[in-house]
Structure 1
Amino acid sequence: MEAHERRTLPEGWEWKKLGEIVAIGSGGTPSRGKKEYWEAGTIPWVKISDISDKYISETSEKITNEGLENSSAKIFPKGTILISIFATLGDVGILKIDAACNQALAGIQMTNNNLNPDFLYYYLKMLKSYFESIGRGVAQNNINLTILKSTKIPLPPLPTQRRIVSILEKAEETKKLRAQADELTDRLLQSVFREMFGVLGINAKGWDKKALGECLEIPLNSGLSPICTDETRGFPVLSLANLRDNGLSNVITKYYQGDKPSKGIDLEIGDILISRSNTRELVGRAGMYKGVPEKVIYPDLLIRIRVNRSILNPVFFEKYLQTNSIKKILHTLAHGSSGSMVKISQENLMNLSIITPPIFLQQKFARIVEKIEATRQSQNQSKQQIDDLFSALMQKAFRGEL
């Protein structure tokens, strides 16, 4: 019995296996090699990246009826809870539309009138760390439907479920307000960049242009291909997962257990890491290394860019690579025979044409970024406090202590 199942429940509550009170099924992916399964598709098809909020109302991809009929994909009705069971574990959302999903997601449909779907949503959300712990160590991190069906949930009377949902929904509003403030900070930074340097795709301000290869201090270099584990020993690794839309997370979660590597540990503050191999929507992600206490390894899926600082300021160049117009260009440089994984070659990256505004202007922008990032740091501390309070509130709610 897992820790979250050991506690004694309040009177009138009972433990139920999930498979006893809901219907659970997984999704599927039509062949990427069949254009007729995807082109002009009208059926929403959910991926993990489409789960960004409580409700899922749109998807980045759609499939055709032919694709649906010739794959293991199935349509889940509006109101179905989707939970990620592969790679990224325990992300949860509720469908606001009828939709299919890929095999990395499981669909949970209500079959018991004594279970409030919002109550189940919040409880599954609370179990994210539990799912991550039991899925860790399995190839690619995954949990199967058997594990999901055997997971126990506390089932209080319906009025209690509704009261818990009402409390958690109000608490979640605070999280949304914090997220909106964070989004405004991001927009401010984008606005400052456009004001100073214009729209990059058209180079409206007529800045000088150079090939990236002309702007480097040392040659481009991809990292190692280490076998990593989650054990907190060995050489820390900045993995592909460290690259986010808005930069590079320096939180280390992967470690290399082999002999001391001969290269790949010489990152310097200001180096840019860019993903050279990934799905088309994620390839080309870029972020600046800001340092960690120990030297780190980076994998061969990332390329290190160390710019000549008399030509490019690293802070400016990081934000440059993160603009939508440059992301689109990087996506066009990515090629591959696989429908899901594509690559940017070092040669194509070396030939990437970039604008080079006067260095004093880039440095001015970097100083502005420093001030905005200080604000963001304060916001992150506030966000962490709100997240911690929300987690504690959920724990109390599902112990019957509210």
Structure 2
Amino acid sequence: MKRVKLSDAFDLQMGKTPSRKHLAYWRGGTEPWISIADLSNCGKYIEQTKENITSDAVQESNIKIVPKNTVVMSFKLSIGKVAITKRDMYTNEAIMAFHDRGRYEILTDYLYYFCKGNNWTSGTNKAVMGLTLNKKTLSEQTMLLPDMPEQEKIVKKLDALQESISNRQHVLMLLDELVRSRFVEMFGDPVTNPFGFQKMLLKDVAEIKIGPFGSLLHQDDYVEGQHALVNPSHIRDDTIVPDNKLTVSEERYRELEAYHLRKYDIVLGRRGEMGRAAVVEENGLLCGTGSLFIRVKRKVNPYFLQKIITYPTFKKYIESKSIGTTMQNLNAKMVSNFEIPIYPLPLQTQFSTFVHQVDATKSSVQSQLDSLTTLRAKLMQDFFG
């Protein structure tokens, strides 16, 4: 087994974004153009993209083609999103394509798993420096390269593991669909309100408070293992997933009492992706600068309200109320004036009970998924160093 430098094995090619001012580059295009969002939402292979560009955009912007069966990886902002192209494509400037120089025998799938398993941000203070690599840094990375039979064995093992992971992810998706279907059956769409339930402003049934301004929290306030902040990035799949490294001390936590999250509060991301919300399950957390919290006072079950906020059409409703061109934003006044249907409490409780039952199943599947993901990370460390 040998170790080779990426620049020796591959020609690393950055993509490009055609001018957004030339609308003709983007209208009616047939050439797939990959963004980080596309890599986030695809599996091992990428064939369809959210946006396409025209042949004029390719020619006049001098964008280099990424041939079929090429590994592409994001290396800015969200590092390590990886896929293999299923057809000739193009990418933006935050994505690197790995063109094989033909000097070594390297399976495309082996490179794919190497890129997924590599800790590209090792040694980087993410909170201070942000997530960014450059072509030079990436070129100097090295990879362990076994012979072809060993590469095939590694890929086969990781493919089988990935299939098991994907199956469980699919089950979780189906369970989420089951909850949404039950919601529609009982209440209809919360925005169009087809059953004609009374509507109220959110401020009439809950207290809404925005997280602390950035000036109240500084880099030297952060410690490990104490009171975690909840920012939008910590709200995943309707659940709070705190970062043990982004916490504040007991003393600083007491000083920020106005921003304490209580059990059964709903924490809502107010920047970026709209409608990202979760019910707080424990005391001791702190609302982050990018979030706000909703504290129900009457007439609404918090778990039920969270399902309204995260419902697809209600997310679009929130987007329509948000401001900002580069990044969508909400403030407390906007959220206070959200109109929500008020359903009978017995029905809310019935639905919440159903959700808790589904969540128990999801928890079991998620536990299996976590174990498989941990095993994958260990194997990747063993295989790729």
Q: SS where residue 277 of structure 1 aligns?
A: coil
**Is 1:353 matched with 2:370?**
no
Q: Which residue is equivalent to 1:265?
A: 259
Q: CA deviation at 1:117?
A: 0.7
TM-score w.r.t. structure 2 length?
A: 0.87
Q: Which residue is equivalent to 1:156?
A: 146
Q: CA deviation at 1:272?
A: 1.6
Alignment CA distance shift 1:26-1:275 (3 Å): same
Q: 1:244 aligns with which of 223, 236, 250?
A: 236
**Is 1:291 matched with 2:282?**
yes
Q: Which amino acid in structure 2 is aligned with residue 371 of structure 1? A: Q
CA distance in 2, matches of 1:231, 1:322: 31
Contact 2:117 2:384 in 1 (8 A): no
Alignment CA distance shift 1:245-1:172 (3 Å): closer
Q: Which residue is equivalent to 1:9?
A: none
Q: Which amino acid in structure 2 is aligned with residue 393 of structure 1? A: L
CA distance in 2, matches of 1:315, 1:222: 21
Q: Which residue is equivalent to 2:319?
A: 331
Q: Which residue is equivalent to 1:363?
A: 349
CA distance in 2, matches of 1:164, 1:233: 36
Query: How do residues 189-268 of structure 1 correspond to structure 2 at under 5 angstroms?
Result: 189-216=179-206, 218-225=207-214, 226-228=217-219, 232=224, 235-256=227-248, 261-268=255-262
CA distance in 1, matches of 2:313, 2:80: 33
Q: Which residue is equivalent to 1:95?
A: 85
Q: Which amino acid in structure 1 is aligned with residue 37 of structure 2? A: S
Q: Which residue is equivalent to 2:117?
A: 126
Q: CA deviation at 1:88?
A: 2.2
**Is 1:185 matched with 2:179?**
no
Contact 2:323 2:330 in 1 (8 A): yes
Write the deviation string for residues 363-391 of structure 1: whole angstroms up to 9, x where unpaired: 11111112211221111211111122233
Contact 2:211 2:287 in 1 (8 A): no
CA distance in 2, matches of 1:209, 1:120: 54
Write the deviation string for residues 9-58 of structure 1: whole angstroms up to 9, x where unpaired: xxxx2110011011112223345555444444433232223224111122
Alignment CA distance shift 1:98-1:366 (3 Å): same
Write the deviation string for residues 108-166 of structure 1: whole angstroms up to 9, x where unpaired: 12222611111111122221xx2122443462222222221111111222232223222
Q: SS where residue 131 of structure 1 aligns?
A: coil
Q: 1:25 aligns with which of 5, 10, 13?
A: 13
Identity of aligned residues (%): 27
CA distance in 1, matches of 2:17, 2:195: 45
CA distance in 2, matches of 1:348, 1:68: 42
Write the deviation string for residues 263-320 of structure 1: whole angstroms up to 9, x where unpaired: 5532111222222222xxx13322222225x332411x22211122x31111011111
Write the deviation string for residues 59-81 of structure 1: whole angstroms up to 9, x where unpaired: 22334455556768543222221
Q: Which residue is equivalent to 1:7?
A: none
5+ long unaligned stretches in structure 1: 1-12
Q: Which residue is equivalent to 1:3?
A: none
Q: 1:306 aligns with which of 291, 295, 299?
A: 295
Alignment CA distance shift 1:134-1:55 (3 Å): farther
CA distance in 1, matches of 2:27, 2:266: 36
Q: CA deviation at 1:224?
A: 3.1
5+ long unaligned stretches in structure 2: none
Q: Which amino acid in structure 2 is aligned with residue 146 of structure 1? A: K
CA distance in 2, matches of 1:195, 1:98: 44
Q: CA deviation at 1:357?
A: 0.7
**Is 1:387 matched with 2:352?**
no
CA distance in 2, matches of 1:34, 1:270: 49
CA distance in 2, matches of 1:396, 1:262: 44
Q: Which residue is equivalent to 1:115?
A: 106
The structure that is helix-richer by fraction is 2
**Is 1:276 matched with 2:267?**
no
Aligned residues: 376
